[in-house]
Structure 1
Amino acid sequence: MTAQQHKQVALITGSNRGLGFEVARQLGRQGKIIVVTAREIENAESAAQQLLSEGLTVYPHQLEIMDEEDRGRLALWLEKNFGKLDILVNNAATYTDWSDRPSTANLEKAQMVLQTNLFGTWAVTQTMLPLLRKSPHARIVNVSSGAGSHGDPQFGLTSNQGGSASYGISKAAVNALTVKLATELKATGMLINAVCPGFTATSPGMEEMGARPVAEGAASILWAALLPDDGPTGGFFRDGKPLSW
């Protein structure tokens, strides 16, 4: 085996900017081989170039998570080059109008949110599972949100008069998917958890609204990606602490 094949390989969806990019950077600094993905290959290449300039081992790849051909090509590439996948971070997500409420929400837009946040995460996981099974220490991290929980008083399911309905419902569904996957795959030793990165400054002006730095939100995700073999599975966490949902 080559030296690279001994290293852990981490795939982060939606990692050309924001939280996904910072997670890629932090995992790269831990010595992992990083696969940076974006819907457009140019964006993935630009992000990878920046991380390469920091001395990290990074490969760019196009991935529209709802595109079966994109998912299949990436899985084949991983199989050919590394023969496995050690860490999958399902970060790619979307949202609609933050003010949408269940009684008046545009259901076509809500369906798009669920397609990406729930079914996109589900589809990528199914595609990558054969490669994850080949890793002795596989980790899946589903990036969720306090918006999909009962435990977040500021953004949770019972706050804001039901606002952010489609996004919150989609993230609650991601939490449920996490539990189901972890239950099914517990005997494999694979650790599968959902993580809320907290209210994170992923856009200009958000820090003035009280959002935490992106590096702090990414560190919450990194914790679940680097769990020891006796770590938890099927949980929902923020900063390494359980969050009710």
Structure 2
Amino acid sequence: MTDNRQALVTGANKGIGLAIAKGLAQAGLSVWMGARDRSRGEEAVRALRDEGLDVRFVELDVSDDESVRRAAETLGREVKALHVLVNNAGIVLDLQIPPSELSMGKVKATYEVNLFGPIRVTQAFVPLLKAAGGARIVMMGSGVGSLTLITDPTSLFSTVNLLAYTSSKVALNAVTVSFAKEFAPFGIKVNAVEPGHVRTDLNGNSGFLTPKEGAVTAIRMALVGEEGPTGGFFGSHGPQPW
């Protein structure tokens, strides 16, 4: 087993997840890059290793109980504790579909990844997180997860009307608060972050920020000190409204 500080990032083979993994590795952590596609995950790992970064691949499909269990067992054999968990994996299936026409299948599939995924992964890694003696958990939220912003006509996020994606991110904020309350006595801080409108495959590369820029807040909250907050929602300019 290694004594280095350990981090796990889900959905780390591309986009914001890859940028977060790279940033945490550059900060000196040993990073486990979770991805459901082994070939793409291993390719991303090789690219960062070529830059001299300490990263490893772990096969992890956040929507699959067995996959998450195997990933937790893998890390349990290799490390003593998990110091940082970034629940980054996410999907959007309703970019072009009005709420009244969205199938329940797409709603459930979205929730399986965006909401149940972070719950499933966090629960699976609780023993390793507690063993760290002050771990950090970051939930990848969204501006559309803020009821305040999506109902504010002056906000860009009020122009978005995605039934499944938006509601999954609203619910994720509540999940963040629940875990933060439970884990506070163990020194574990849990926060949600809003990356901004980032150019990723998720939105057809329509954003105006780079993945590196979108990763900044997640990395900051993953490395926040003992004086830092827990149970909050943060963007690049500080706290975001719920």
Gap change, CA 1:102 and 1:205, over 3 Å in 2: closer
Correspondence for 1:48: 45
Measured against aligned partners, the alpha-carbon deviations of 1:113-153 in whole angstroms (never above 9, x if no partner) come to 01110001110010011110000220000001001113431
Q: What's the CA shift for 1:106?
A: 1.8
Gap change, CA 1:126 and 1:210, over 3 Å in 2: closer
Correspondence for 1:177: 175
Q: d(CA) in 2 for partners of 1:144 and 1:120?
A: 13
Structure 1 unaligned regions, length at least 5: none
Correspondence for 2:200: 202
Correspondence for 2:11: 14
Helix, strand or coil at the partner of 2:31: strand
Q: What's the CA shift for 1:102?
A: 3.4
> What amino acid is the match of 1:235?
G
Correspondence for 1:37: 34
Helix, strand or coil at the partner of 1:55: coil
Q: d(CA) in 2 for partners of 1:29 and 1:186?
A: 28
TM (norm. structure 1) is 0.91
TM (norm. structure 2) is 0.92
Correspondence for 1:129: 126
Structure 2 unaligned regions, length at least 5: 150-154
Gap change, CA 1:147 and 1:35, over 3 Å in 2: same
Q: What's the CA shift for 1:57?
A: 0.6
Q: What's the CA shift for 1:203?
A: 4.1
Q: How does 1:42-191 map to 2 (within 5 A)?
A: 42-152=39-149, 153-155=155-157, 159-160=158-159, 163-191=161-189
Correspondence for 2:152: none
- Contact 2:192–2:234 at 8 Å: present in 1 too? yes
Which is worse superposed, 112-121 or 71-80?
A: 71-80
- Contact 2:82–2:132 at 8 Å: present in 1 too? yes
- Contact 2:134–2:186 at 8 Å: present in 1 too? no
- Contact 1:195–1:220 at 8 Å: present in 2 too? yes
Q: What's the CA shift for 1:103?
A: 3.1
Aligned positions, number: 237
> What amino acid is the match of 1:46?
E
Gap change, CA 1:65 and 1:204, over 3 Å in 2: closer
